[in-house]
Amino acid sequence: MNPLLSRPQVTAILAISLDGRLARAQTPGERIASRYDFQHLEQQVAQVDAVLFGATTLRMGGTAMRLQSPHLIAEREHQGRSPQPLQIVCSASGELDPNLPFFRQPIPRALLTTEKGASRWQGSTAFDHCWCAGVEEIDWPQAFRHLQGAGIQTLAVLGGGQLLASLLHIGAVDELWLTLCPLLLGSAAPSLYPAGLEFAGTLTLLNVLPVGNEVYLHYRLHYYA
Ligand SMILES: NC(=O)c1ccc[n+]([C@@H]2O[C@H](COP(=O)([O-])OP(=O)(O)OC[C@H]3O[C@@H](n4cnc5c(N)ncnc54)[C@H](OP(=O)(O)O)[C@@H]3O)[C@@H](O)[C@H]2O)c1
């Protein structure tokens, strides 16, 4: 990706099993990490202007990661920010069930999609923003222009693996938080590393924190020029 392209500061935050899986094969929408990890994730989400996640993650889980801690919400309001970050779902197809609980959550919502996907939501008020970037595939430079136009300077990417892989491929993830969970979920479970994942760069470990049987890893990513 053109290093001069302006985009938000992007931090990805995910929990994985020891064999790099994101969820159980039998319950693909269920969280695999501890209650502590939920608090860690909430802390990260509280710091950003917007959250981005893939359509499969939403289809499986049904909801967005909404801030629940009154303390974190009050802190944002004290800083003059909106109580909740904007929740952006990325879907090329736009095929999302409007009956998902996500659409009833008290949060601001956006859809990042293609011309094809946007046509499904024409005239709908389900999303506060419907951003069209690309005809059939997401054109990321155009997508980032939409985000910047909405004043989004910091973005948390919460997965899943496909979305993260597209952003790694174009060199658009600055920091990565990985929670290593004490599980081996097997090859049928959804993976953090989808086929074709390409990452041309290196990672610097910023911090490592063991909590119970989990390990919290914080990296900064550097891309080859
Ligand atoms: N452990 C964790 O921290 C964690 C976090 C998140 C998710 N998960 C789990 O991970 C699984 C889902 O991960 P996943 O990798 O299968 O799917 P995903 O990345 O959540 O979603 C993939 C879908 O998102 C859209 N998408 C992603 N990248 C795109 C791009 N570059 N351009 C256009 N559209 C794009 C497409 O939607 P359309 O098909 O609509 O075009 C694609 O089919 C679920 O089981 C979920 O529970 C776990």
Specify the pairing of strand 154-157 against strand 9-17. parallel
Q: Does residue 92 lie in a domain region?
A: yes
What separation in Å is there between the alpha carbon of 80 and the centre of ligand 1?
A: 32
The amino acid occupying position 79 is Q
Atom 32 (ligand 1) nearest CA: 138
Query: In this structure, what token pair is assigned to residue 109?
Result: 């919502």
Residue tagged 């989400």 (tokens) = 45
Q: What is the residue-wise DSSP string for 87-134?
A: EEEE-SS----TTSGGGGSSS-EEEEE-HHHHHHTTT--S-SEEEE-S
Q: Does residue 82 lie in a domain region?
A: yes
Q: How confident is the model at residue 225 (pLDDT cuts 50, 70, 90)?
A: confident
Q: Count of residues for the chain? A: 225
* Predicted pLDDT at 11: 98
* Predicted pLDDT at 5: 64
| Sign of the torsion formed by the C-alpha atoms of 58, 130, 47 and 78 | negative
DSSP-derived 3-state class of residue 32: coil
For residue range 105-159, list pLDDT tens digits in order: 999 999 999 999 999 999 999 999 999 999 999 999 999 999 999 999 999 999 9
Give the mean pLDDT of 189-206.
94
Query: In this structure, what token pair is assigned to residue 53?
Result: 């996640």
Please state the domain count of the chain. 1
Instruction: Please say whether the beta carbons of 222 and 202 come within 8 A.
Output: yes
Cβ–ligand 1 distance for 134 under 6 Å, the answer no
Measured in degrees and rounded to the nearest 5, phi and psi for residue 185 equal -100, -10
Q: Does residue 3 lie in a domain region?
A: no
Q: Does residue 95 lie in a domain region?
A: yes
User: In this predicted structure, which of 55-69, 189-203, 208-222 has the lowest mean pLDDT?
Assistant: 189-203
Atom 25 (ligand 1) nearest CA: 91
**CATH number, residue 79:** 3.40.430.10
Q: Does residue 71 lie in a domain region?
A: yes
Q: Does residue 85 lie in a domain region?
A: yes
Q: Does residue 35 lie in a domain region?
A: yes
Residue tagged 């293609």 (tokens) = 114
Domain residues for the domain of 142 are: 9-223
Nearest to 5 by CA among 113, 142, 199: 142
Q: Does residue 101 lie in a domain region?
A: yes
What separation in Å is there between the alpha carbon of 39 and the centre of ligand 1?
A: 22
Specify the pairing of strand 109-113 against strand 86-90. parallel
